Amino acid sequence: MQGIDRRQFLKVAGLGGLVFASGLARGAETYASGADEFFFVQLSDTHWGFQGAPNPDAAGTLPKAIAAVNALDPQPDFIVFTGDLTHTTDDGAERRRRLTQFKELISGLRTKEIRLMPGEHDASLDNGEAYREFFGPTHYSFAHKGVHFIALDNVSDPAGRIGDEQLAWLAADLAKQPRDSRIVVLTHRPLFPLYPQWDWATRDGDKAIELLMPHRNATVFYGHIHQEHHFKTAHIEHHAAKSLIFPQPAPGSVPKRAPVAWDPAQPYRGLGFRQIEAERGEYKLTEFPVVRV
C-alpha cells in the first residue's frame, strides 16, 4: 500500500478547492473508443439529525450544500451520497423520520439522478431494514458512459463486513467486465485498513480488493472518515470524501478520535463535497466548500 504524492495535486485558482488528477499512469489508448466525458458529484456523511457543538448549524449545512451543488453550471450527470445520510438513533421511528426528511431535502437537487448507499449510522442497528424501505437495495451496479459503477455495502453488518454473499455477487458482477474496463466502486467504509484503531476499516475489505486486483482501471470513492484522503493499494486508488456535518482528525493524529471543534471564525471549515470528472481514463477531483468565503 502506498500514499499518493501531494505533488500530484494541482491548485486551481478561483474554485476554492483542489483538483486531483487520478489515473495518470493509465494508457489513454485503453479508452480510445466509446468513452464519453462526464462528471458526477460525491457528497458524504451528511448525518441528518445530528445535534451537537461540532456543528451548530447541523440543520442548515445540508441545505447549503444542496444549494451549492445546484449552483454548478453545468450540472453533473448524477450525484452520489456515500453513506451516513442520517445520524444514528436507537429509535426506529426516529430513524424513519430522519430518512423521510433526508429524502425530501435531496428532492430539491436539480440533478435528478441520485445514487445512494447507507453508512453504519443509517443501517448498522437494523441491518439496513429502514434504509431499504426508503431507497431499495444497499448494493448494486450500474453503467454510465463507459464506466461500470459498483455500490458496495459494508455497513448493514454492524461488524463492518461485506459478507460472503455480497462478495460472491461482486465476483459475478466483475466477471462480466473486461479486465481493462473502467470500474468505480462507491462505498462507505475504507476497503483497506486505513486506521482500524478508530474502526476505519472493512473487516473483509481485503477480499473485495483481491477481486478488484485483476481490473487495472479500478478506483474507489468512499466516506466514513470525514476528511479528504487519498491512498493506493497496488494500482487501485482510494479517495475519501469530506463530510457535511463535522470533520474528523487525521488518522492517529490525536490520542482519541473526536470531531474537530467548530471554529466560529471559520464556520464550515473542513466540510465540503467534490466533483469528479471522468475524462479519457482519468478522474479529476475538484473539492468544493459548503459555502464560499
Q: Which residues bind other proteins (CB under 8 A)?
A: 87-90, 120, 124-125, 155, 158-160, 193, 196-199, 201, 203, 256-258
149 with 115: CB under 8 angstroms?
yes
CB of 258 to other proteins, least distance (A): 7
CB of 69 to other proteins, least distance (A): 27
Taking the least distance from each CB to other proteins, the nearer of 139 and 224 is: 224
Taking the least distance from each CB to other proteins, the nearer of 148 and 189 is: 189
CB of 90 to other proteins, least distance (A): 6
Taking the least distance from each CB to other proteins, the nearer of 47 and 242 is: 47
CB of 199 to other proteins, least distance (A): 5
CA atoms of 153 and 160, how far apart (whole Å): 9
Taking the least distance from each CB to other proteins, the nearer of 193 and 267 is: 193
141 with 150: CB under 8 angstroms?
yes
Taking the least distance from each CB to other proteins, the nearer of 27 and 196 is: 196
Residue 74 CB contacts under 8 Å (≥ 6 apart), including other chains: none
In 226-271, DSSP assigns E strands to 229-233, 236-240
CB of 256 to other proteins, least distance (A): 7
CA atoms of 97 and 8, how far apart (whole Å): 43
Half-sphere exposure of 27 (CA within 13 A, CB side): 7
> Which position has the grid cell 459555502?
291
